Structures are given as C-alpha cells and as structure tokens.
C-alpha cells in the first residue's frame, strides 16, 4: 500500500496547471484585444480630422498644383498608399455644402460667392495635439498663395483629452489585470509543486545539487507555459474571427501588427511566468525545514 500512496503524493496535475494558465492568459489576452482595438479606434478618429487651408483668390492652375505638392510634403500630413491625404474644395463646392447644412442659399441675397478655394488636409494622429497643430499652422502660413488655415480647435482638444483619459483608464485596468494574472498563475504552479515537496527533499538528501533538482521542474514549467500560451493564442484568434463575423465593422479596426505582438506577448508571458513561478516554488521548498514540509 505504501507504493501507490507515494506515487499519489508525487503526482503532478499537468492538465490542471495548463488549463488554469490558459484561462488566465485568455483573460489578459481579451483585455489586450480591447486595448488594441481601442488604440486603432483612436487612430481612425484622429485620421478623419481635417484642417482647412484657404487660398488666395484667383490662383492659376499651376499655382494650385505647386501648392498641393508643397502641402503634401509637410510631415504632419497623413498618407495612404504613399499619397498625401489632400482634398481640393472649390468655393462652388463649399457653397453647396453650406447650402446643404443650412438650407439657405446665401448667394441669392449676396449676389456673389464670398467663399474661397481651399485644401482639406488630413493630419497624422501623432500630430493632432495643440502644439503640433500650431507648428503646422506656422508652416502653412509661410506658403505662397495661402490666405489662412482654420481648424476646430475646441473639437481637436476635446477629442485628444477624451482619448487620453480613456487610454489611461484602460492602461490602469490592464496593469491591475496583469498583476492578478501573474499572482494567479504563480499560485497555481506553487500549489501544483506542493505535491512534489517530498520528492524535492528526497533528491536533496541524497546529495543532488540545487541546479540538478530545479532543472526538470523548470523545464516542465517552461513547456507548460508555452503550451498554455499557444492554446490561449489560438483561442483568442478563434474568438476574434467570430467577432469579425458577427460584427463586420470591427474589421475596420483590425491592426495585424499589434495583434501579432499581443499574441506573441501572451505566449511569452506564459513561458516567463511559468519558469519564474516554478523556480520560486522549488527554491522555497529547498529552503524549508523538514518539519515545515508536513
């Protein structure tokens, strides 16, 4: 009867450990997906903000083309497929847009169109703060043929402030969640190694070195962390694809680079936490006295 009991005391709940670590990594991965899509959403919002560059009256076609090229070379102007995001808005188009928004045709009682031709510039997300917009305004004002640059300052400031607050709140939750997940995985591995404490002490009593004792436990914990990380990454990919099928608009917020980094981070987190938690637990049992093991 002693042999089965000894085997039971020395057993290691491998599947339970992998399952627990996988669930913990899926939780942190889901929050990571939220952060990635929230970051992409903030970029999309900022990329759709425009500034209006109003031009001098009666500029010839050659001046318009020259000015478009000069504006397109500014570092603040957003690009898509290598092309600057600049849109020409004639004064006639501006009048039509104003008519649609107000329902009144001011040209009937003014007898003329007082509006100016303009270029609408989309700005890179990292340049939408007040400081960079002032720098852009100074650069644009020096261009020949430019009358003035206008943009809704209150709207830009409000969007930037709100997005910054949301980002800080999400990062705070993420930090707390990572801490909870680390503690959870650490306790899971610590409890799993609790059944191995007598085996560790037996190896120590027969003269095995610390490195020799730790090596198999660290190797096993590393592989378990890797397996849990890969499983968690596959689950996250499946959940993300399901979400894209159910809510097709989410595809607009897809960011393959950051998603790849997130999944890689989930796998590495499983490996690192598994290794460090196992090393810490084994070291603890190596230092325990025989009475404390019971």
Q: What is the largest CA-CA distance in the chain?
A: 107
- Using CA atoms, how far apart are residues 39 and 247, in angstroms rounded to an integer? 18
The model's pLDDT over 57-99, given as tens digits with 9 standing for 90+, comes to: 888 888 888 888 888 888 888 888 888 888 888 877 776 776 6
Nearest to 37 by CA among 166, 201, 203: 166
- If asked whether residues 238 and 271 sit together in one domain, one would say yes
Weakest-pLDDT range from 14-18, 55-59, 205-209, 210-214: 205-209
- Look at residue 2 in the predicted model and tell me its pLDDT: 41
- If asked whether residues 85 and 113 sit together in one domain, one would say yes
Domain boundary among 150, 185, 210: 150
- DSSP track, 121-161: EEB-GGG-SHHHHHHHHHHHHTSTTEEEEE--HHHHHHHHH
pTM of the predicted protein model: 0.71
Sequence-ordered alpha helix ranges (H) in 149-255: 153-194, 197-205, 210-246
Weakest-pLDDT range from 23-32, 64-73, 104-113, 212-221: 104-113
Report whether pLDDT(107) > 80.
no
Q: Are 218 and 278 in contact (CB under 8 A)?
A: yes
Element holding 109 (H helix, E strand): helix 107-110
Please report, to the nearest 10 degrees, the dihedral formed by the alpha carbons of residues 134, 113, 85, 151 taken in order. 30
Q: Which residues touch 186 (CB under 8 Å, ≥6 apart)?
A: 273, 276, 277, 280
The model's pLDDT over 39-50, given as tens digits with 9 standing for 90+, comes to: 888 888 887 888
- DSSP track, 4-61: HHHHHHT---HHHHHHHHHHHHHHHHHHHHHHHHHHHHHHHHHHT-EEEEEE-TT--H
- Measured from the Cβ of residue 242, the count of other Cβ atoms closer than 10 Å reads 10
- If asked whether residues 27 and 69 sit together in one domain, one would say no
- If asked whether residues 168 and 286 sit together in one domain, one would say yes
- What are φ and ψ of residue 49, in 5° steps? -80, 140
Kindly state the tokens that stand for 264. 């890689």
- If asked whether residues 172 and 289 sit together in one domain, one would say yes
- If asked whether residues 79 and 181 sit together in one domain, one would say no
- If asked whether residues 95 and 166 sit together in one domain, one would say no
Domain extent, residue 113, equals: 50-150
- The alpha carbon of residue 221 and the mean position of all alpha carbons in its chain are separated, in whole angstroms, by 28
- If asked whether residues 120 and 252 sit together in one domain, one would say no
Domain boundary among 127, 150, 173: 150
- If asked whether residues 8 and 146 sit together in one domain, one would say no
Helix axes of 256-287 and 14-47: crossing angle, nearest 10 degrees? 150
Domain boundary among 101, 120, 150: 150
- What are φ and ψ of residue 119, in 5° steps? -110, 130
- If asked whether residues 24 and 130 sit together in one domain, one would say no
The model's pLDDT over 243-273, given as tens digits with 9 standing for 90+, comes to: 989 888 888 888 889 999 999 999 999 898 8
What are the Cα distances from residue 9, in Å, to 4, 186, 294? 9, 21, 12
- Using CA atoms, how far apart are residues 35 and 49, in angstroms rounded to an integer? 22
- If asked whether residues 122 and 169 sit together in one domain, one would say no
Report whether pLDDT(114) > 60.
yes
The CATH number linked to 57 is 3.30.70.3040
- Domain count of the fold of the chain: 2
- If asked whether residues 89 and 187 sit together in one domain, one would say no
What are the Cα distances from residue 183, in Å, to 31, 103, 261? 17, 62, 23
């Amino acid at each position: 009867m002693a042999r089965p009991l000894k085997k039971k005391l020395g057993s290691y709940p491998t599947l339970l450990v992998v399952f627990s670590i996988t669930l913990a990594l899926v939780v942190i991965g889901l929050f990571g997906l939220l952060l990635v899509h929230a970051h992409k959403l903030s970029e999309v919002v900022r990329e759709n903000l425009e500034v209006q560059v109003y031009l001098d009256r009666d500029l010839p076609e050659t001046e318009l083309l020259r000015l478009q090229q000069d504006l397109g070379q500014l570092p603040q102007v957003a690009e898509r497929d290598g092309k600057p995001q600049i849109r020409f808005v004639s004064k006639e188009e501006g009048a039509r847009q104003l008519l649609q928004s107000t329902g009144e045709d001011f040209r009937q009682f003014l007898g003329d169109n007082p509006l100016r031709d303009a270029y609408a510039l989309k700005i890179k997300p990292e340049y939408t703060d007040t400081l960079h917009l002032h720098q852009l305004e100074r650069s644009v004002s020096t261009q020949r043929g430019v009358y003035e640059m206008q943009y809704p300052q209150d709207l830009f400031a409000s969007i930037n402030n709100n997005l910054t607050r949301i980002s800080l709140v999400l990062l705070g939750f993420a930090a707390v969640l990572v801490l909870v997940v680390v503690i959870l995985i650490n306790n899971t591995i610590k409890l799993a190694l609790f059944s191995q404490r007598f085996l560790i002490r037996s190896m120590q009593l027969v003269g095995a070195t610390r490195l020799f004792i730790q090596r198999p436990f660290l190797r096993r914990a590393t592989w378990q962390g890797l397996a849990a990380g890969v499983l968690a990454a596959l689950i996250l990919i499946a959940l993300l694809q399901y979400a894209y099928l159910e809510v097709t608009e989410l595809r607009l917020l897809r960011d393959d680079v950051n998603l790849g980094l997130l999944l890689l981070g989930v796998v590495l987190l499983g490996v690192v936490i598994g290794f460090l938690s196992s090393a810490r637990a084994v070291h603890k049992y190596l230092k325990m006295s025989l009475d404390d093991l019971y």
